[in-house]
Amino acid sequence: MALSDYSFINLVSVREDIVSKKISALDLVELYLIRATKEDKYNAFLEVFSDSARTAAAALDQKIASGEAIGELAGAIIGIKDNLCYKDHCVGASSKILDGFKSLYTASAVQNLIDQDAIIIGRLNCDEFAMGSSNENSAYGVVKNPIDTSLVPGGSSGGSAASVAANLCMASLGSDTGGSIRQPASFTGLVGLKPTYGRVSRYGLIAFASSFDQIGPFTKSVDDSELIYRVMAGKDPLDSTCSKQPVHKKRSTQSKFTFAYYEEVINSPGLHPKTKELFFNKIEVLKAAGHEVISTSFPYLEQLVPCYYVLTTAEASSNLGRYDGVHYGARSKASEDIPSTYFNSRTEGFGLEVKRRIMLGTFVLSTGYYDAYYSKGQKVRRLIKDATDDILSKADFLISPTTPHPAFKVGEKANNPIALYLEDIFTVQANLAGNPAITVPMGTTEGGLPLGFQFLGKSFDEETLFAAASLI
């Protein structure tokens, strides 16, 4: 077979092709290195790890030749968001303040993939410190949507979405703090998973908001998403917030489900007409297959986004305090003493949106405002969690469109941060409540732009979530 003729189907078939020596891992890596370097018209990759990818591929070929057992992800060519650490490789959260910084260790989620013979091909562009909904906030330029380069790919994991949608890698990892996997997956026609909080270790993930962040995959199928999830998930002694609950290795055999949706969401005036049409079409498909679909109401819909931004900016202002030009990362050349080092390094190193969120977070945590904002936000989060659990006591899943509309133009909302914050309206509930959620392609607009269908499930019940997602 000519190398250029090789077509990716799914991760299981890639492993079979390598084991049968239909193609070598090294040849496969060379094919994707060409794609990631010469065919990346979208600014998806910040850096391609050519040397380490070739070394890993050669080692995998040697294992196969010697008859050794190989991992579940053998031959999987995977890109990682630029906020995931990979030992001896640069990582920078797409920020100038970490320009040139090399990690001293590997994130647990990434290491779990490597242990199963996945090959990490490079680091992917994102909104700076994962703060954004369009991937226009990166210090290294805007990422473009492979479906139409005049459009954004979504954010903050825009490079992770674009790389898979453009076939520059087989799958990728992103992080989801309020929809940063699911929204770009919806905009690019992919499957995007946010696991239950604590299901996948956050060790080695550069923190934005520690009680919200989760690592998850971008894939072209539910099966590939499930495979990567099972490899990554599980307890980790390096992350005290990581759950010790066992990870089920098989998809649920449940065949009939009850789905609930919010009347307020579907009747929202901001919902794109095609989004509403496709959503109800899918509901009819589910009903015809014997599933029950019920409409319900959610009392805190208008509080979701404000609560999310009060709490995440507070956590961000705390987490980003470590970037001071002293410990690691970039240091301003105008530094003369400790105060000027802090001030100049942060002024030069952080972008506008990161500065905005640090200031917002510092404000809501400040004396005189803590009780009015942060403390109240925590109480509202508890109410949201309880209301979510109450709905899921009556239904197996909460369903909704992933986003109100398809991808928008580059620059269209760049000067309107409130409009960008509202992009998270359908996705933040899963992060506030800690529940798992997955988006799958729902269909396209008349212009061919993808729209996503979201399932929000019960905590630590991803095996049933995958079963339901496979229905669409």
Closest CA to 169 of 32, 46, 54, 55: 32
Question: Using H for helix, E for strand and C for coil, what is the string for 302-329?
Answer: HHHHHHHHHHHHHHHHHHHHHCCCCCCC
Q: DSSP E strands: which ranges in 348-436?
A: 397-401
- The mean pLDDT of 464-469, rounded to a whole number, is 97
Judge whether residue 1 has pLDDT over 80.
Answer: no
Which pLDDT does position 89 carry in this prediction?
Answer: 98
Q: Which residue has the higher pLDDT, 6 or 30?
A: 30
Angle at CA of residue 207, ends 202 and 212, nearest 5°: 70
- Using CB atoms within 10 A of its CB, is residue 87 exposed (0-12), middle (13-18) or buried (19+)? middle
Q: What is the DSSP letter of 142?
A: -
Q: What is the pLDDT of residues 332-364, one digit of tens each?
A: 999 999 999 999 999 999 999 999 999 999 999
Q: Is 453 helix (H, G, I), strand (E, B) or coil?
A: strand
Judge whether 270 and 407 are in contact, CB under 8 Å: no
Name residues whose C-beta falls within 8 Å of residue 465's C-beta, 6 or more positions apart in sequence: 397, 436, 437, 438, 455, 457
pLDDT attached to residue 426: 95
In 240-352, DSSP assigns E strands to 258-262, 292-296
Nearest to 439 by CA among 401, 393, 385, 392: 401
pLDDT at residue 300, rounded to an integer: 94
Tracing tokens 């010790």 back to the chain, one arrives at 244
265: tokens are 């969401």
Q: CA-CA distance, 307 to 360, in Å (whole number)? A: 13
What is the length of the chain? Answer: 472
Q: Are 170 and 11 in contact (CB under 8 A)?
A: yes
9-472, CATH topology level: Amidase signature (AS) enzymes (3.90.1300)
Which of 179, 259, 194, 187 lies closest to 427, judged by CA? 179
Region of 411 on the Ramachandran plot (φ > 0 left; ψ -120 to 50 alpha; else beta): left
pLDDT score for 437? 98
Asked whether 174 and 180 are in contact (CB, 8 A), the reply is yes
Binned at pLDDT 50, 70 and 90, residue 268 comes out as confident
Pairing of strands 437-444, 191-194: antiparallel
Rounded-to-integer distance, Cα 386 and Cα 390, Å: 6
- By DSSP bridging, strand 77-81 and strand 171-176 are parallel
At 194, the amino acid letter reads K
Find out whether 152 and 145 touch, Cβ atoms under 8 Å: yes
Task: Return the domain boundaries, the chain.
Answer: 9-472
H-helix or E-strand containing 441? strand 437-444
Decide if pLDDT at 269 tops 90. no
Residue 155: DSSP 8-state: S
pLDDT in tens, 96-128: 999 999 999 999 999 999 999 999 999 999 999
Average pLDDT, the chain: 96
Question: 306 phi and psi, to 5 degrees?
Answer: -60, -45
Phi, psi of 36 (to 5 degrees): -70, -25
pLDDT of residue 2: 61
Q: What is the pLDDT of residues 307-336, one digit of tens each?
A: 999 999 999 999 999 999 998 888 999 999
Q: Is 116 helix (H, G, I), strand (E, B) or coil?
A: coil
> According to the model, what pLDDT value does residue 315 have?
98
| 80 within 8 A of 173, measured Cβ to Cβ | yes
In tens, the pLDDT along 179-219 reads: 999 999 999 999 999 999 999 999 999 999 999 999 999 99
Closest by CA to 60, choosing from 99, 18, 102, 93, is: 18
pLDDT in the model for residue 419: 82
Structure token pair of residue 57: 């591929």
What long-range pairs does 207-210 form, CB within 8 A, spacing at least 24? 207/315, 207/319, 208/83, 208/129, 208/130, 208/131, 208/175, 208/177, 208/312, 208/315, 208/316, 208/319, 209/177, 209/311, 209/312, 209/315, 209/316, 209/319, 210/241, 210/315, 210/319
Residue whose structure tokens are 């099966």: 223
Amino acid 126: pLDDT? 98
**Are the beta carbons of 141 and 124 closer than 8 angstroms?**
no
pLDDT above 70 (res 407): yes
Query: What are the catalytic residues?
Result: 81, 156, 180
pLDDT of 70: 97
Residue 223, φ and ψ in degrees, nearest 5: -60, -45
